[in-house]
Amino acid sequence: MGLDLYSRIEQYLDFEDEVYSLHKEFMTFVMMNEFDNIIDIGCGQGYFLENLKINGKKAFGIDLSAEQIKVCEQRGVDAKCMPLHDVKEKFDCATAIFDVVNYIPKNYLKDFFVDTYNVLNENGYYMFDVNSLYGFSVVADGSLTINKEEKFIAVDAVYDEDELNTNIILFDKQKDGLYKKEEDMITQYYHDIPSLKKVLNEVGFVVESVTDYNLHDFDKPDKHMLICKKVSK
């Protein structure tokens, strides 16, 4: 899947304000609960890990994209390119910020939540966001082009039958003046709140809150934030 190509175009998407406001919500949660030991699942380029570090927190990140982890290493945060299933340490809090859970197909969601449950200490907390149906079908659906720094980027996202398929094309100018074309696809999956709650409960989480969130300033909330607590089975 196109996670590495996404990583290379992420900085041109102009999402800084949105990412900042989303991270602020997660950071408030971490600080208010005084969590000291956090795993950031799908840590991307490590912005949240960096902020945790600045706030004196012990933080570790994982991501499936090697390109994202390269940027984390340059940033000086503790992160590895590895599946969640292979993480052996335990944490007081797990975060999965900015669509990470939407990358998980429905038939793998339970396994992913089990893996999250297993990296948490008893009574540990899990906070994540997912796109609302409005977020996928109205906000994300559509096309955009970007022409910056000798790069031409085309992103075309189509929402249909609970899936958002985003085609990414990058034309990157080479030293010889010619453009190299790369193309890949990312698929994200819509998960409604009742199904998420059902799977989380089966795994051993209590869903303490579900909050609507308006990330992109549209008419309706485009995201939901979930706060879950690990309880003994």
Ligand X SMILES: C[S@@+](CC[C@H](N)C(=O)[O-])C[C@H]1O[C@@H](n2cnc3c(N)ncnc32)[C@H](O)[C@@H]1O
Q: What is the separation of C-alpha 27 from the centre of its chain, rounded to a whole number of angstroms?
A: 15
Instruction: Name residues contacting ligand X, limited to 104-123 (CB under 6 A).
Output: 104
Tell me if 200 contacts ligand X by CB under 6 A.
no
Tell me if 97 contacts ligand X by CB under 6 A.
yes
Tell me if 99 contacts ligand X by CB under 6 A.
yes
Tell me if 81 contacts ligand X by CB under 6 A.
no
Instruction: Name residues contacting ligand X, limited to 149-178 (CB under 6 A).
Output: none
Q: Which is nearer to ligand X, 25 or 36 (CB)?
A: 25
Residue 104: C-alpha distances to residues 45, 57, 76, 108 (Å): 19, 27, 28, 6
Residue with token string 């995201």: 223
Residue with token string 């912005």: 47
The binder of ligand X chosen from 84, 119, 168, 203 (CB under 6 A): 84
Q: Which is nearer to ligand X, 53 or 206 (CB)?
A: 53
Tell me if 63 contacts ligand X by CB under 6 A.
yes
- Which has the closest alpha carbon to 26: 109, 125, 127? 127
Contact 157, 168 (CB under 8 A): no
Tell me if 222 contacts ligand X by CB under 6 A.
no
Helix, strand, coil % over all residues of the chain, rounded to 5:
35, 40, 25
Residue 12: C-alpha distances to residues 96, 145, 151, 220 (Å): 22, 10, 9, 26
Q: Which is nearer to ligand X, 99 or 174 (CB)?
A: 99
The binder of ligand X chosen from 19, 72, 77, 168 (CB under 6 A): 19
Q: Give me the residues that bind ligand X (CB under 6 A), please.
A: 3, 19, 41-44, 47-48, 62-65, 68, 84, 97-100, 103-104
